Amino acid sequence: MYAQAEPVRSPFSGPGSRQTSGHPLQPRPVRQSGSRGRVRHDHDKQREDQDTSSHTYEDAEAVRGHATHTSADCAYPGGVSGRRGVCSFLRARRSCLAAGIAVLLSLAAVGLAPLTFSNIQEISQLSTTVTHDQDNLRQLNATVDALKSDQDNLRQLSATVDALRRDQDALKVDQDNLRQLFAMVDALKSDHQGNLRLLSTTVNALKRDQDGMSTAVNYLKRDLDNERSRTTTLEQRLRGIEKTLRYTIWHGICYKAFNTRKSFSEAAAACRADGGTLAMPRDADTRSFLISLYKSVSDHSFFWIGLHDQREEGRFEWVDRSALGPYSSWDLGQPDNGRSGRLGNEDCVLYSSGPPQQDKWHDYDCPNPFSFICQADPGRAQATSGSLTTTVQRLSDHPQSN
């Protein structure tokens, strides 16, 4: 940055200046360009002037010393008078030299005053420049640190860019897969729409078939109702036929002897379950028929018939609550309500098939179990709650006499 300037020689540095010690002054480097270079060059000039004045002062001291040595040397050969002349000469010369030096020093002071003020300004400018350069250096260091951080960020950004590229490649693959999926979805939509149209056609056809089937079901329901009515009629007829086969008909009424031992109330319930009641022989012909009927089952047994006085003692009535009527077939001493025996509460009537009360009516205690005879009307029957029951026409509506 700096070029070496030519050396400037002091006016007292030649062979006649009597310079006894020190190295020749080295010139300061001069800045080649810029206002700062010019200021520095002026400063170097002021420094050279100061060096020149100092050399002048040193030369004066040398002359003074030389005069001292000379006066000392002259004192010996010439004696006192010679010494005095020499000393006077030397004093005069010293005074001249001192006056010259004083003049030179005053001139130097007058010339250096502007230079000193200029140096102070230059120093202030240089201090400002140095401070500014230091600030610039700090900013430059901060910029360098920021650049280093940016460089690290760039490395991270480069890694991020690489990762993004890989992600981009993966996204391309996913995009291709999505295109394929969209194509498959479109194909499925087309198939689905076709299936929907076919299904809609099928549903419409099924609806028409359902309407037709509904009409057919209505016809079938009517046919079923008709068949149920016919079945009911046939079941009633079959029930009558079965009853006719199991029972024995006498004067339009079916009779049957049960060789099962039950109490009076249980026997009445069994007859009701079979569609009838306990037998009610209201005349001699019916009595004779019943005797032959129960003898076909057992020769030595008692059979309950549908006669009792449970509601009022001594007032006998049939199980259909009709009165006994003019006909009766009591054995001798009957009914006695158990007075001849030890029962004492005989309210129900039975046939005795063995001697001595053979084929006659006897009152007896109702809880005792005996066989029984039922009667039923095969001509009147109805269906109730899904089961067939037979309604027996009350014989009391058509009383018969002996």
pLDDT one digit per residue (tens) for the chain, 402 residues: 444 444 444 444 444 444 444 444 444 544 444 444 443 445 555 555 555 444 444 454 554 554 444 444 444 445 556 667 777 878 888 888 888 898 888 887 777 777 777 888 889 999 999 999 999 999 999 999 999 999 999 999 999 999 999 999 999 999 999 999 999 999 999 999 999 999 999 999 999 998 989 999 999 999 999 999 999 888 777 666 655 567 888 998 999 999 999 999 999 999 999 889 999 999 999 999 999 998 888 877 899 999 999 999 989 999 999 999 999 999 888 898 876 555 568 999 999 876 666 789 999 999 999 999 999 987 543 332 233 333 333 333 333 333
Residue 381: its pLDDT value, please?
Answer: 35
Number of domains in the chain: 1
- Within a domain: 48: no
The CA–CA distances, whole Å, from 334 to 29, 346, 348, 357 equal: 179, 11, 12, 10
- Within a domain: 260: yes
Residue 235: its pLDDT value, please?
Answer: 78
- Within a domain: 254: yes
- Within a domain: 379: yes
Closest by Cα among 235, 349, 374 to 294:
374
- Within a domain: 226: no
- Within a domain: 85: no
Residue 1: its pLDDT value, please?
Answer: 41
3-class state of residue 67 by DSSP: helix
Which residues in 63-82 are b (16+ Cβ under 10 Å) and which e? ebeebeeebeebeeeeeeee
Domain that holds residue 280: 248-397
CB 303 within 8 A of CB 371: yes
Closest by Cα among 313, 251, 311 to 281:
251
Burial of 372 (0-12, 13-18, 19+ CB in 10 A): buried
Say how far apart CA 78 and CA 72 lie, in whole Å.
Answer: 11
Say how far apart CA 123 and CA 118 lie, in whole Å.
Answer: 9
Residue 152: its pLDDT value, please?
Answer: 92
- Within a domain: 367: yes
- Within a domain: 302: yes
pTM: 0.38
Give the CATH number, domain containing residue 329.
3.10.100.10
Closest by Cα among 54, 62, 58 to 112:
54
